[in-house]
Amino acid sequence: MICLEIPKKLRPLVDQARQVGEYVFRPISRKYDTAEHEYPKELDILASLLKGMNEGGGGTGAGAGGLSEKKKADGKNRNGGNMATVLGMTELCWGDVGLSLTIPGQGLGNSAISAVGSAEQRKRFGHLWAAMAITEPEAGSDPSAVRTTARLDGDQWVLDGEKIFVTCGERADAVVAWATLDRSQGRAAIKSFVVEKGTPGMVVDRLDKKLGIRASDTATVSFTDCRIPKDNILGSPDIKPKRGLSGAKKTFDNTRPIVAAMAIGVARASLELTRELLKRDGIVATSYAGTQLTAHAAEAELYRMEAELEAARLLTVKAAWMADNKIPNSVEASMSKAKAARVGNHITLRCVELCGAAGYGERQLLEKWARDSKILDIFEGTQQIQMLIIARRLLEKPSADLR
């Protein structure tokens, strides 16, 4: 039987994440939206707390790193790290999406290391904050077009190429960079490599100025004759033509529900504030039952958006639950992201419209939330790419047939 309550053991985590969202993120939300590229030093204390929780084994860290640490389920039917991260991330992003993306030690690269790294690598790189560098000027939605190369030279891999849009690319201690061992062999030759900051040949070229999530740094990083130890490759260096981008898929199956959770958090924040602001204008949204015919148009709109948000939330917890229980969840992970990001974009923007001047002005955070929400329908695979993945799976078509 499916129980849709928040699991008892995860309630403290959800409460803590909510408090961080409310008392740490919200007060500095506008500050780091305005001061783009300034490091949010207030988060350092949060990072130490999360690190302590993870090291102590008692926490279910609400972030990519925390997720992956707890992922090693013991085969029992359970709610584990994926559920914890999804629920925690919802609350953190209710506070602020950009700040949630820049919590030290909780990068997407950390998820990749945990998902595909060996036990030795997880130990060696465990203390690092790792960003993920897949996208290139010529490789966005289609990662198989990656042009960054990696060649073996004695005991070292030599990387050459340029990565764009690297979240935490400047602040993180390392990046997990995707590179091809042999372009002629397509997807199967693409591998990921951990490159630590300070490695000669790795340069952060610039930071992007963005529409939203301005508290999070987005960098262009280049590699020129960049030499890293041979055992910094994640997974096997063997090129197995039938395996494709399996390591990446494994990571995305875990991380897409997290992005969905982010969208749910910020959309819920918008809905809650809109309810409050409309109440001041005498529009009181109480309960759906019995009010359908008499509801004010704005009130009815709130109910519709709440229903959409709940549908997205249910898809998201399902995808996370499946991951925790080792049930293949590629379709559900993509469905949750496609639905939640689309609904999140719609809700945050509609709330701006519903609240008039309060929605569009900078006194409230509604306009910021609409800007922050947009990226959630772009990174980790756009809306269109999620649809494509779902269609391929449902129709059992290979990517060569449906693209």
Ligand X SMILES: Cc1cc2nc3c(=O)[nH]c(=O)nc-3n(C[C@H](O)[C@H](O)[C@H](O)COP(=O)(O)OP(=O)(O)OC[C@H]3O[C@@H](n4cnc5c(N)ncnc54)[C@H](O)[C@@H]3O)c2cc1C
When binding is defined by CB under 6 A, the residue of 132, 259, 317, 347 that contacts ligand X is 132
From 84, 166, 349, 352, residue interacting with ligand X (rule: CB under 6 A): 166
How far apart are CB 339 and ligand X at their closest, in Å? 16
In the list 135, 251, 254, 334, the residue contacting ligand X (rule: CB under 6 A) is 135
| Least distance between ligand X and beta carbon 132 (Å) | 5
Stretch that binds ligand X, among 88-96, 161-169, 334-342, 360-368 (CB under 6 A): 161-169
Q: Total residues contacting ligand X (rule CB under 6 A)?
A: 21
Active site residue 380: yes
Closest among 124, 224, 120, 125 to 179, alpha carbons compared = 224
CA 201 to chain centre: 28
Which of 204, 207, 239, 385 lies at the binding interface for ligand X (CB under 6 A)? Answer: 385
Provide Rg for the chain, Cα atoms.
Answer: 21
Q: Sketch the per residue contact string, 318 through 347, with ligand X: x for CB under 6 A, - otherwise.
A: ------------------------------
- Biggest CA-to-CA distance, the chain: 75
Residues 397, 174: Cα–Cα separation, whole Å: 36
Rounded Cα distance between 247 and 194, Å, is 14
Binder of ligand X out of 84, 89, 134, 158 (CB under 6 A): 134
The one-letter amino acid code at 271 reads: L
User: What's the CA gap between 96 and 264, in Å, rounded?
Assistant: 12
- The burial of 57, by beta-carbon neighbours within 10 Å (0-12 exposed, 13-18 middle, 19 or more buried), is given as exposed
Residue ranges in 60-89 that form contacts with ligand X under rule CB under 6 A: none
Strand-pair partners of 156 = 153, 229
- DSSP H helical ranges for 281-382: 297-324, 330-354, 356-360, 366-374
The active-site residue, picked from 170, 196, 380, 396, is 380
Q: Which is nearer to ligand X, 174 or 273 (CB)?
A: 174
Choices 19-27, 280-288, 333-341, 374-382 (CB under 6 A): range interacting with ligand X: 374-382
User: Residue 128 in contact with residue 51, Cβ under 8 Å?
Assistant: no
> Which residue has the CB atom at the shortest distance from ligand X?
140
Contact flag: residue 207 with ligand X (CB under 6 A): no
Least separation in angstroms between CB 381 and ligand X: 6
Q: What is the DSSP letter of 283?
A: -
DSSP 177-222: EEEES-GGGGGGGEEEEEEETT-TTEEEEEE---SS-TTS-EEEEE
Q: Does 205 bind ligand X (CB under 6 A)?
A: no
164 vs 187: CA distance, rounded Å: 19
- Span of 162-170, 184-192, 240-248, 330-338 interacting with ligand X by CB under 6 A: 162-170
Tell me if 141 contacts ligand X by CB under 6 A: yes
Among positions 214-253, residues that touch ligand X (CB under 6 A) are 218
Residue 299's identity, in one-letter code, is E
Tell me which residues are annotated as active site: 380
Q: Where does this chain bind ligand X (CB under 6 A)?
A: 108, 131-135, 140-141, 165-167, 210, 218, 375, 378-379, 382, 384-385, 388, 403
